Amino acid sequence: MSPIPAPGLARLNTAADSDVVAELHEVCASSAWGRRVLAGRPYADAEAICGASDAAMAELTADDLAEAMAGHPPIGRPKPGDPTSAREQRGMAGASEELRAEMLELNLDYQEKFGHVFLICATGRTGEQMRDAVRERIGHSPEQEREIVRAELGKINRIRLARLVSPPEEETRMSTGTSAAATPHTSVSTHILDTSIGRPAQGVAVSLSARAGSGAAWAALGKSATDADGRCKDLPALPEGTTHVRLDFGTEDYFLGQGQVRAQRPGPAGAAVDPQADAQQDAPANRDSGAFFPEVAITFAVDPGEHYHVPLLLNPFGYSVYRGS
């Protein structure tokens, strides 16, 4: 049995082309992107239209990307009267005058170098996080920055499409002014302990995604990596309306790196390493050419205004998670 599209998606599937083109233009200003997404109707669910958006974004030319970026105001200066840009840039709403001035200067420096506005998926990010991002990215080459912009546009489009195809009652709840002003931020942090060596796991890539409702599409919010203490403390705040969170841990590179470290480990001073004993100790690493768990995905439910610290206890052949404090 084919899934029944949610009411908001059903409307998008059946509306006149001209109406849908106008709605899609509010999501992304690229006409090429809009044509490709329009041509993919009907969509079975939110993930299907978000997947079509990703595919269309991957095919955009440099001129198409410039057209898409032209629809986005600079960070710290949302379009007057535009609730979408104001909502997405909420992290700058309470920024100090000093931070606002610094962002303005950085935006101008970035625009002078690359010829377009600094673009980032600002949903859930603080003003400080956006400032740090532009500081880092201003050192990139134009080619590097073009692909980062493409990825950031894809994230923004997913979030906007999720709102566009939400059922009417969900869309109303997400768009009310009282909710936007009064709902406190929900946040997530994590840390990883490698229980096979009794130490923090450093350098593990961590990706954060969120969705608003069980049937909604996942929206990628940000990426980070664990520090020397195994902690990941700079994940962005969650967007308003988030009900579920997913943390994706890229464990394969970490385990492969650990295998190399073990292979290079010296024995005690003046003592030879027993190859048989060492092989037994490193059996999990030696039994497979790659990691048994190349990635770990954790999904959990959240409530507004709460902080969720979700540690991962990891070893080559098992893992566990819990809600910490």
pLDDT in tens, 111-133: 999 999 899 888 878 888 889 99
Contact assessment for residue 240 and residue 198, using Cβ atoms and an 8 Å cutoff: no
State the average pLDDT for the chain: 80
Rounded alpha-carbon distances, angstroms, from residue 299 to 215, 238, 310 = 14, 14, 10
CA 265, 266, 268, 271 torsion-angle sign: positive
* Full set of structural domains in the chain with CATH: 7-177 (1.10.3330.10), 187-321 (2.60.40.180)
Alpha helix positions (H), the chain:
7-14, 17-27, 31-39, 46-58, 62-69, 83-88, 97-114, 127-137, 142-164, 168-175, 177-182, 251-263, 275-281, 283-287
Average pLDDT over residues 281-305: 72
**Virtual CA dihedral for 111, 115, 116, 121, nearest 10 degrees?**
-70
pLDDT band at 4 (very low <50, low <70, confident <90, very high): very low
- pLDDT computed for residue 130 by the predictor: 87
Average pLDDT over residues 159-166: 84
- Model pTM score: 0.53
pLDDT in tens, 128-148: 888 999 999 999 999 999 999
pLDDT at residue 300 greater than cutoff 90: yes
The 3-state DSSP class for residue 64 equals helix
Place of tokens 């970490």: 254
pLDDT in tens, 204-258: 999 999 988 887 888 888 888 898 889 887 788 788 788 899 999 999 988 888 7
Give the separation between CA 250 and CA 114, rounded to whole angstroms: 31
- pLDDT computed for residue 172 by the predictor: 43
Which residue type does 30 have? S
Higher pLDDT, 195 or 280: 195
pLDDT at residue 280 greater than cutoff 50: no
